[in-house]
Every structure is written in C-alpha cells, then in structure tokens.
Amino acid sequence: MKIKICGMTRPEDVMKSEKSCVDLIGFINIERSKRFMEINEIKDLVSNLRDKFKAVLVIEPENSEEAIMKSKKTDIKTLQLHSLSKAEIKYIKWIDSYRKNAHERDLEIIRAVGISPGLEGSRRDAKMEEIKGFAMVCDALLFDYEVKGKSGGTGKQLPLDIVTEAAKAAKDVNNNIKIFIAGGMNAERIKNNRKMLNKVFDYVDVNSGVEDAPGIKNPDKIEDICELMVD
C-alpha cells in the first residue's frame, strides 16, 4: 500500500513529505477548503518537489475545460476530481489522447467519490452502480466520507465494510483501477487495520490525520505513518 498526503500549504511540509515515504502529494484548489491554494501558489509549492510526478491537483471544476486548463497552468498531470460526470471525464481523456508526445505523460484521473456511512438498500446499490460507472473511465477512485453531498477534509472515517464493498465493485469492472481510502485516516487507524487495508486498497490518503491545524502538517505525525509502511 502506498501513501498520499493531501492539503499542502507550506514548502517545508512538501519537502518533508518527499524525503519521507510519501508517494503522492496533494494540493487543493477548491474554494470551500480550509487548505485552499491559488493556482500560482500551487505552482510555487510544486517547484519544491524533485519528482514533479508526485504532485496531485485536487479540484472541483465546473467542466472538463476548467480541469484541463488548471492542469496546464500548474503542469500537474494527476488530477483528483471532486466533480464531473463519467462523460466529462471521458472527454478529458479523449482530448488528452490527441496531445500525447514522447515528452508528455498522459493525464491520470482520480475521481473522488463521497460515501455516506449509513447507506443501505437501494441507495447503497445506486452508489455501487455510480462507482462502477466511474471505475470504467478513471485511473483511480478515492473513497471519502460524504456530508451534504460533498466530500473532502471532514476528518471523518467511513466504516470499513462499505468502503471495502465499494473497492470490490470498482475492481469488478476494472481490474487495473487504483483505489484510495480517505477520510480521517491517521496512524492509529492504519496500525489497527493494516493487514486488511493492505489487501483491499492501493493507497491510503491522509490529510487532517497528520496536521496540527488545517494545512499545517506535523513532521512527527508523517514519520509515524511512514514507520507503519515499512516491514
């Protein structure tokens, strides 16, 4: 299992994460977020990375064009989308396929999917169908706790049974899809469920679980997570 740390606002946290075990580093350009950074600020922060491919741009665009434009402006090729339909994501992939050349890497799309913890019956079935639809067009799915139709940065944890069911539904239709578990992930939760998490998920996505305050990462908490990743 790999690790993504999200919600970077300071160069020192970016550098610390890259020096540690962190595989992907997220920058949030969503206005409702307490970790919101402007596009030009994100570009500056990414310049602290030796491996620019570790950067993930977290956005909630109005349409495909906005997503493509923000990727171009930041030069970040991995997009974590908190909006857009299956058709709009397919369109981004289609446009990208015409821009390929030897020096460009394809856009990687991670679709964030919010899940309400209490979903049962037909609402649960409908969520699994939505997940299968996204799994057919995306490179990765990120499952996070949903509150009032929105997900991200809540610090709340999803029950492992529903998120495991969601991961299986996605892999059923696309065996190559990468699955991220997000929502209040921290060292304690990883330690207590390591074996199971390793089996089901490709990435664990950590945000408020390594913070002293929104956007202020704590290097010791990052180290605690990294220690759990080795052995």
By beta-carbon proximity to ligand LGQLAAA5, the closer residue of 95 and 154 is 154
* Shortest Å, Cβ 158 to ligand LGQLAAA5: 10
Told to check if 182 binds ligand LGQLAAA5 by CB under 6 A, we report: yes
Give, as ranges, the residues between 2 and 41 that touch ligand LGQLAAA5 (CB under 6 A).
6-7, 26, 28, 30, 33-35
Told to check if 92 binds ligand LGQLAAA5 by CB under 6 A, we report: no
Residue from 8, 25, 42, 58 that binds ligand LGQLAAA5 (CB under 6 A)? Answer: 58
Told to check if 155 binds ligand LGQLAAA5 by CB under 6 A, we report: yes
Q: Tell me the residue type at 139.
A: D
Strand partners, 4: 24, 205
Number of residues lying near ligand LGQLAAA5 (CB under 6 A): 23
Q: What's the CA gap between 159 and 161, in Å, rounded?
A: 6
Told to check if 209 binds ligand LGQLAAA5 by CB under 6 A, we report: yes
Mark residues 115-154: x for contact with ligand LGQLAAA5 by CB under 6 A, - for none.
-----------------------------x-------xxx
* Shortest Å, Cβ 162 to ligand LGQLAAA5: 16
Tell me which residue has tokens 């493509």.
68
Of 49, 22, 7, which is closest to residue 203 (Cα–Cα)?
22
* Shortest Å, Cβ 24 to ligand LGQLAAA5: 10
Told to check if 225 binds ligand LGQLAAA5 by CB under 6 A, we report: no
DSSP notation for the chain: -EEEE----SHHHHHHHHHTT-SEEEEE--TTSTTB--HHHHHHHHTT-SSGGGEEEEE--SSHHHHHHHHHHHT--EEEESS--HHHHHHHHHHHHTT--TT-PPPEEEEEEEE-TT--HHHHHHHHHHHHHHHTT-SEEEEEEEETTEESS--PPPPHHHHHHHHHHHHHH-TT-EEEE-SS--HHHHHHHHHHHHHH-SEEEESGGGEEETTEE-HHHHHHHHHHH--
* Shortest Å, Cβ 153 to ligand LGQLAAA5: 2
> Strands 203-206 and 211-213, how do they pair?
unpaired
Told to check if 114 binds ligand LGQLAAA5 by CB under 6 A, we report: no
Told to check if 185 binds ligand LGQLAAA5 by CB under 6 A, we report: yes
- Interface positions with ligand LGQLAAA5 (CB under 6 A): 6-7, 26, 28, 30, 33-35, 58, 82, 144, 152-155, 182-185, 205, 207-209
